[in-house]
Amino acid sequence: MAAMNPYANFPNRGLPQLDEETPLCPKIDLLLDMPSIPKSYATTHAWNPDDCAPSVDVDLFEDTICRSIFDSDDTRCCRGRVGFTEGIHCWEIYWPKEIRVKNCVVGVATKEAPLHCSGKTNLVGKNKHSWGWDICNREALHDTDTQGVKPYPVFRYADAEFTIPDCFCIVLDMNAGTIAIVINGKSMGIMFDGLEGKTLYPIVNMTTQGDDVSMRYLGKLDTWGPPSLLHMCRLKLRSHYGKFFIAKEIKDKEIPEDLKEFVANPPQYFYTLHPSKLSQIRQRKNLTLRCPNNWLV
């Protein structure tokens, strides 16, 4: 099934060799290339303006974006709107390298996880209520007060240099109780396991004024059983013809038009849509802010 990965022809862009190569399982392979979900559905899974630290602003016009708005010596976090208890879920994080400074952590957390503390630290992953990934130091964090940190991903050569790209995906499998990171269509391996039986929300940890972190929910697979034949056929066709040429290749085929549209519909990612939109939003970010009490200033 690894050969069916629709990202197989992507360059690894300097991704060092992993200590243990972990091919994408068929379900996650399928999930990463699902058709674009409606923006309204993605919005329901965006950042929650009512579940964040006081110094975090969820953009009034684009609530897939949250930002750190004050320059203060503290740590501020924001949770997503929806908690997950079952199924396989995937969302994309867009956090530009040029604005990352320190304590840049993404992950998942329960409702019990704190969202604010004094001092600049990795609050996400600090206790037993959250699981985080420090993307600056490439470290997996959970209950670090007692367990410490561990490198993630683990490269074959310890001195390998690699900067996490602007965009990457988080895959949360609540059926198996695991969370993993996918970069350029390649799994970095399981970061944490033992997550089953919990309700987990996406979360972000920020400490620097001007941090802009975007999250787009990409979709889910609900069932324990095999994926639908329809979606498996779509993935097979896109892998056979090439995802960038599929529309042209099937244009003259004797296939119903609705099915052609379904097969050719690409997944929607920030790296194709988001940067220009983010630039426009940044231009107005000091004009309209949503405060913690939902008043506009």
Q: Please report, for the domain that includes residue 105, its CATH number.
A: 2.60.120.920
pLDDT score for 144: 95
> What global pTM score does this model have?
0.78
Number of domains in the chain: 1
Please, which residues bridge with residue 89 across strands?
172, 220
Residue 292 lies in a domain: no
Residue 198 lies in a domain: yes
pLDDT score for 161: 84
pLDDT score for 280: 47
| H helix intervals, the chain | 26-32, 39-44, 144-147, 229-241, 246-249, 257-264, 270-283
Residue 291 lies in a domain: no
Which residue's entry shows tokens 């990457």? Answer: 168
**Structural domain of 75:** 2-283
- Cβ-contact 205, 124 below 8 angstroms: yes
Residue 290 lies in a domain: no
pLDDT score for 238: 76
153 upstream amide cis, omega within 30 of 0:
yes
Q: Which helix (H) or strand (E) holds 292?
A: none
Residue 294 lies in a domain: no
Residue 112 lies in a domain: yes
- Cβ-contact 27, 221 below 8 angstroms: yes
Residue 36 lies in a domain: yes
pLDDT score for 286: 41
Cβ count within 10 A of residue 69: 20
Residue 14 lies in a domain: yes
Ranges in the chain, pLDDT < 50? 1-11, 269-278, 280-297
pLDDT score for 222: 67
